[in-house]
Chain A
């Protein structure tokens, strides 16, 4: 029978939640790296027992951990993220030049085909790649150096490269997103990059339609349709049907179009999920109700999914990397909250159950479907 492994990064460690394909009884392993912030952990599609984890804290900085046995044991690998050349400056919150400084790794994206190749999205925003299982890291500096870098500015959470999407049909194409610079695409394995923000409108920046400066919160893609992208921006839910060359708003009837997560159903490329958050100044769900919204039409028309989720006195947030889907039939959907709950739906969102209720604040959720 299939197994589902949910990888949860929290403010105080990592947890691994495992169940069989019924997804009813869960085994909870952890905390791994107790006391450390685990911004993200993710498994290799080419070798599901190869996991990578980003471990950091304010005292001791950044570590990268690697497992070769599905998270039972871990070993620290390389943690030296040196910008290529003289890093120069980006804009600070006040618009003044500020030197690029490494702070932490937000996201790790293993290669689709080689378990030793892994990408890291870091703060201050840059993309790194390791070809040796995380021992050594090299910056793909064409991104930061493509021209607009000096105009990038941090979002409230820092200037982080938080989204890395590897194109399933074109090994040379990668999408990334940065708060608050926007989305970018390379078509030559990371040597050169172009901003892909046409159609985004951000009224909080001096030029609302600028080439860069948009606070993109997350981007998702269905592996069978790599040209179609879905975006949760600071405000607005967007879609692109041409690999990011242009975007259209699909917020439709959402109660608020602010949020962080967005994801796509494993088998229905037009079925997408978001968790609306009341506003950028409050960062919790509206009306005390935790609701996942699902669109079966690729946006615009949304339905609230509430069964099994708290519908009163709930004031949690769901962060950008804290939703994932499994590939079972029916599709499982998972998300974690700032209150430490990890919710699972084994029926594409129709109903939900908490796997765990009292973890530290959840930073990221990834899912592996093990056949």
Chain B
């Protein structure tokens, strides 16, 4: 199982707790994990990545294993520890705004 930690506003929107568990078919990448999240929680479509471009929204970042993966290609494999479920993929909002 893949573990994903969502920011608080998206947990409220999707009615989930601090961590989401997912099954991902095939390679475990940013794209495949986000695809799986959006199938399970369609209300999150458009909130993490843009509907049209599929680009990460600019005030969000992806972290795992103490690394910033935000600028990794969406089809690059995520770390083995994420693929095995040992570590979560963390979606985090920028500390900005008021």
Chain A contacts to B: CB under 8 angstroms: 35-36, 57-63, 76, 79-80, 82
* B40-97, CB < 8 A from A: 43, 45-48, 50-52, 57, 59-60, 93-94, 96-97
- The distance from the CB of B76 to the nearest CB of chain A, in whole angstroms, is 24
Alpha-carbon distance between A36 and B50 when the two chains are bound, in angstroms: 18
Q: Which residues of A contact B9 (CB under 8 A)?
A: 35-36, 57, 59-60
Shortest Cβ gap from B61 to chain A (Å) = 11
Is B20 interfacial (CB 8 A cutoff)? no
Q: Which residues of B contact A80 (CB under 8 A)?
A: 45-46, 51
Of B47, B48, B57, B96, the residue contacting A63 (CB under 8 A) is B47
Residue with the greatest number of chain A CB neighbours at <10 A, chosen from B47, B50, B94: B47
The reply to whether the CB of B10 lies closer than 8 angstroms to some CB of chain A is yes
Contacts of B96 in A (CB 8 A): 58
Residues of chain B contacted by A57 (CB below 8 angstroms): 9, 97
> What residue in chain B is nearest A82 (Cβ atoms)?
B52
In the complex, the answer to whether A61 meets B45 with C-beta atoms within 8 Å is no
Verify if B7 is at the interface (C-beta below 8 Å from A): yes
Q: Cα distance A97–B60 when bound, in Å?
A: 28
Contact across chains for B59 and A59 when beta carbons are under 8 A apart:
yes
Q: Which 3 A-B pairs have the closest CB atoms?
A: A60-B47, A76-B43, A59-B59
Could you tell me if B97 and A58 are in contact, using CB atoms closer than 8 angstroms? yes
Note all chain B residues with C-beta closer than 8 A to A82.
51-52
Instruction: Give chain A residues whose Cβ lies under 8 Å from the Cβ of B43.
Output: 63, 76
Q: Contact partner of B10 among A58, A60, A62, A79, CB < 8 A?
A: A60
CB pair B46 A61 closer than 8 Å: yes
B42 CB to nearest chain A CB (Å): 8
Q: Which of A35, A36, A58, A76 is close to B59, meaning CB atoms less than 8 Å apart? A: A58
Q: Given that A36-B9, A76-B43, A79-B45 are known contacts, is A59 also in contact with B52, CB under 8 Å in the complex?
A: no
* Chain A nearest Cβ from B9, distance in angstroms: 6
Residue on B nearest A11 in the bound complex, by CB:
B98
Question: Nearest-CB distance from B15 to chain A (Å)?
Answer: 10
